[in-house]
Structure 1
Amino acid sequence: MKVQYLGHVVFYVKDLERSLKFYRDLLGFTEIGQAFNGKAAGLTSGRTHHELLLIEVGDAPGPPDGVRRGLYHIGIKIGESLEELRSAKKELERNDIPISGMSDHTVSQSLYLHDPDGNEVELYIDVPGSNWEENPKLALSPTKPLVL
């Protein structure tokens, strides 16, 4: 498997509006839309469908009781086809790396795993023809199970 580029970062944040003022209004990311009943927002610089996803968790209790503020996961683009994703899955399995999830996000399809320190990593491919450039809100479509 070969990494193409770091695609996105997902942060759990205390206050979505406060974070949007920083990332959107100050730094200049473009908001593509909101999801989870207004508790999440996707942002892009225009390079890809989303480079940043912010998910509001409020005063989260933190581990071990649940979600904490901070890094949720990073997304790494590894290819352009389902065959490349299947190949990555086989390589992970050969190396005894557990896969914690597989998802179809409409614009991308993903494998989820954890690095040696427990950080979540998403390996993904962009879905050919998903047309996120014409409709950026597709990046916030409901997640569906992925079967490889």
Structure 2
Amino acid sequence: MKAQYLGHVVFYVKDLQRSLAFYRDLLGFKEVGRIFHGQAAALTSGRTHHELLLIQVGDAPGPLQGRRRGLYHIGIKVGDSLDELRQAKRELEEAGISIDGMSDHTVSQSLYLRDPDGNEVELYVDADEAIWKNNPEAVVSPIKPLRL
């Protein structure tokens, strides 16, 4: 497999509004939608469906057990089709890497795993870009299980 580009970063933040004031209002990212009962916001520069996801956790760890403020995970695009994601999954399994989860996010399909230091990494392929270009809020569609 070959990484095509770093697609997005997900941060756990203390105060979503404060973070939106920085990333959206000051840096100019466009908010495309909210999830988790309004406690998370997806943002884009326009390059793709989202480059940044902010998830409010307040004074961590708190009620969101095990979470802390800071980096949650990075997303790396590894192809353009489910066949390429299947191949990436095979390569990971052959290398002895455990897959922690697989998700269909409507705008993308993903594998989740840990790097050698325990950081979460999402490897993904995008769905047809018309989905999010025609409906930017598709990025915050309910997450579905993915079967490869």
TM-score range, shorter chain: over 0.9
Task: Say whether residues 1:135 and 2:135 are aligned partners.
Answer: yes
Letter in 1 for 2:88: A
1:37-56 mapped onto 2 (5 Å cutoff)? 37-56=37-56
Percent identity over the alignment? 74
In structure 2, distance between residues paired with 1:100 and 1:81: 20
Deviation sequence 1:42-79 (CA, Å, 0-9, x none)? 000000000000000001128xx511000000000011
Q: Deviations over 1:3-43 (max 9, x none)?
A: 11000000000000000000000101000011111100000
Tell me, what secondary structure is at the counterpart of 1:139?
helix
TM-score between both structures, scaled by the size of structure 1: 0.96
CA-based RMSD of the aligned residues comes to 1.1
Q: Structure 2 length normalisation: TM-score?
A: 0.96
Per-residue deviation, 1:128: 2.5
Runs (4+) of structure 1 exceeding 6 A deviation are none
How many residues are treated as equivalent by the alignment? 146
Is 1:81–1:128's contact at 8 Å kept on the other side of the alignment? Answer: no
Give me the whole-angstrom Cα distance separating, in 1, the residues matched to 2:20 and 2:110.
26
Question: What are the superposed Cα offsets for residues 74-117 of structure 1, whole Å, 9 maximum, x if unpaired?
Answer: 00001110000000000000000000000000000000000001
